[in-house]
Structure 1
Amino acid sequence: MRDGAGAPALEVLSPGPLALLQDHGRPGYAHLGVTESGAADLGAFDAANRLVGNLPGALVVETLLGGWRMRALRTVRVAVAGASVSVLVSRDGRTVEHPVGCALTLEAGDELEFGAPPQELRSYLAVRDGIAAPLVLGSGSSDTLSGLGPPPLRAGDILKLASQSGPWPAADMIATWIGRVRAEIAVLPALLGPRDHLLSGEGLTALGSTTWTVSQDSNRVGVRLSGPPLEVVGDAGQLPSEGVVAGSVQLPPDGRPVLFLRDHPVTGGYPVVAVLTRAAQDAAAQLRPGDRVRLAPARR
């Protein structure tokens, strides 16, 4: 066992609105009705792990809208990626702010806190060696739809180290994360299909030309979009249930798209008219209610 593995490392002082343990998820179990789950923004998840030299897929903390506060119980190397929260470290009565996209060392007794992000939703805290948690079907991820995996973190929880680190990274900063600003209208590339033929010509045009607004009825399962309903042909609402994947752009009977995220159901009876690219799935996971978004569908 690597030095430090299994040792208490972090104490949760405040989880904020929602703090979950996440890794790459549990693929390969859709036939059992189990979705992949895992980190909602895989790009930010991978970036945080790279900054501390963890092996790909090491377990991290995914937080929502800031408010996260923790105390280091030993010297640890940590990194934060994702939403542009203020990363505040308090030591001996003095508080220093650090940027997102950098690695830093905490000493025993240091407190780390996330402020509220001005935009986007989710931030990822990685710790060198990864976080230990019981595995369910090979993953430590929390699945909010099925309830599989660890429950949401609570104040007083103690997080222990795993043994998931590799060589030390060559850099302790990812410049593209520092000062990152989202465009006024997020554009999400998608590939049309498999049921885009159920859209009328006007509906297909509107799919890519409409500026949608993110509904408050959104979570890790999916992002609901508000706007004028899309026009379909035939009886599109009476399809037999079929498999769906993360990134599916599903069209429920009200004609307004739903973008499935990582905790999506594995089947659905409404038509999937497009599928977001992987990068677009990450961007969709950072959309917050009221954000404006446009889909950019293209043929395969």
Structure 2
Amino acid sequence: MTALLDSRTYAPSSPDTATRLRVVDPGPLTTLQDAGRAGLAHLGIGGCGPADRAAAALANRLVGNPEGAPLLENVMGGLTVATSSPRYVSVTGAPAEVRVDGSIVAEPQRLYLHAGQRLSIARPPWGVRVYVAIAGGLAGRQVFGSCSTDSLSGLGPPALRTGDELQVGAVVSDPPSARLELTGTALPTGVIDLGFRWGPRDSLFSTADMRTLTSTTWSVGADSNRVGVRLTGPALSIGVVNLPSEGMPLGAIQVPPSGQPIVFLADHPVTGGYPVIGVVTEPDLDLLAQAPPGARVSFSAMAGG
């Protein structure tokens, strides 16, 4: 059944009632994401938003949208969409083959999609998340000021299904005439080195465990998701720890009883009772959000951290 997602409060412009983006095939998982729900942790509400914030912001800039405008976050390709009116669209994030009506697009970062044409994204050869933005921005039902889908709490619209239609805003600015600088957007295919700062509970760990964290090449587990990336390697020993629940920031490296670190991503819980040995910097979290199962990860402590 076709479902039109409700548009109430997101308004980069007045909604263009004649334009819809139709989901022909959502692939394994496609959600709507915007800038998220910042500043609500005291209410138990997580930040959410794109897992790879840099890629999402670039996608919106490429079509003239505000950086936080709602767009699609697709996991592992398989997505096919069509628009009812001609629009610029952009594709960023994991480098995937893009086709329009079956023909390969040589430079898919920004393209002009005619009414009824189908944009299809293949499975990326490396990387996890692909972002699709459309000029004018998408519209969705807002919960606590955001239409982002939060996989942990269930807030926001559900994951997209075949036949869903999303309302598109009216275009208020043309895409940048100058080619945007795309250097630095390539994803590493070797070991992903994550900068982090120690704390707040690093004092609970031995010197040997701290050395293990930074000297080990960790592997990304298959059970990683938007909540967090689970790493496998030599177990850290935290012993018996009785901590009251405390705030969990984006990028927290939490060590549960298994001793296998978890790095929290966009849909992370706002509190937790296991110790956090360090916090990964936000730019490096974008890289981690693109790490597929089996990818290798290392940690580098930042000066002064």
The answer to whether the superposition gives a TM-score over 0.5 is: yes
Aligned twin of 1:266: 270
* Aligned residue among 227, 233, 240 for 1:235: 240
Match of 1:186 in 2: 192
Q: 1:239 to 1:245 in 2, by over 3 A?
A: same
1:97 aligns with 2:105: yes
The share of aligned pairs that are identical, in percent, is 44
Which residue does the alignment assign to 1:122? 129
The whole-number CA distance in structure 2 between the counterparts of 1:80 and 1:226 is 31
State the shift of 1:259 in Å: 0.4
Q: Distance in 2 between matches of 1:177 and 1:40?
A: 17
1:69 offset after TM fit, Å? 0.5
Q: Which runs of 4 or more aligned residues in structure 1 lie more than 6 Å from their structure 2 counterparts after TM superposition?
A: none
Contact 1:188/1:280, CA 8 A, preserved across alignment: yes
Distance change in 2, residues 1:165/1:190 (3 Å): farther
Separation in structure 2 between the aligned mates of residue 134 and residue 95 of structure 1, nearest angstrom: 34
Task: After TM superposition, list the pairs within 5 Å mapping 1:8-23 onto structure 2.
Answer: 8-23=19-34
CA drift of 1:13 comes to 0.6
For 2:279, what is the secondary structure of its paired residue? strand
CA distance, structure 2, for counterparts of residue 261 and residue 164 of structure 1: 31
2:158 is matched with 151
> Residue 173 and residue 76 in structure 1: after superposition, are their counterparts in 2 closer, same or farther (change >3 A)?
same
Counterpart Cα distance in 1 of 2:98 and 2:179: 15
The equivalent residue for 1:109 is 116
Q: Would the alpha carbon gap of residues 163 and 198 (structure 1) be closer, same or farther in structure 2, given more than 3 Å must change?
A: farther
CA distance in 2 between partners of 1:290 and 1:20 (Å): 24
Counterpart of 2:206 in structure 1 is 200
Structure 2: distance between partners of 1:7 and 1:296 = 51
Question: Aligned pair in 2 of structure 1 residues 72, 106: CA closer, same or farther (>3 Å)?
Answer: same
Q: Which residue of 1 aligns with 2:6?
A: none
Offset, 1:11: 1.1
Superposition RMSD on alpha carbons, in Å?
A: 1.8
SS at structure 2 position matched to 1:31: helix
Structure 2 counterpart of 1:70, from 56, 62, 81 = 81
Post-superposition shift, 1:295?
A: 1.1
Conserved 8 A contact 1:20-1:63: yes
Task: Map 1:2-81; keep pairs closer than 5 Å.
Answer: 5-81=16-92
Give the drift of 1:73: 1.2
Aligned partners of 1:4 and 1:177: how far apart in 2? Answer: 34
Change (3 A) 1:71 1:167: closer
Residue type of the alignment partner of 1:169: P
Q: Distance in 2 between matches of 1:167 and 1:191?
A: 40
Over 3 Å counting, the alpha-carbon distance change for 1:206 and 1:165 in structure 2 is farther
How many residue pairs match? The answer is 293
| Alignment partner, residue 287 of structure 2 | 283
Residues 202 and 155 of structure 1: CA distance in aligned 2, closer, same or farther (over 3 Å): same
What runs of 5+ residues in structure 2 fail to find an aligned partner?
A: 1-10
Q: Give the whole-Å Cα distance in 1 for the aligned partners of 2:187 and 2:48.
A: 27
CA contact (8 A) 2:58 2:67 kept: no
Q: Which residue of 1 aligns with 2:261?
A: 257
In structure 2, C-alpha distance between the alignment counterparts of 1:33 and 1:134, rounded to whole Å: 20
Give a deviation string over 1:103-154, Cα, whole Å, max 9, x none: 1110012110001101110010000010011211110100000100010001
CA distance in 2, matches of 1:259, 1:278: 11
Residue number in structure 2 paired with 1:296: 300
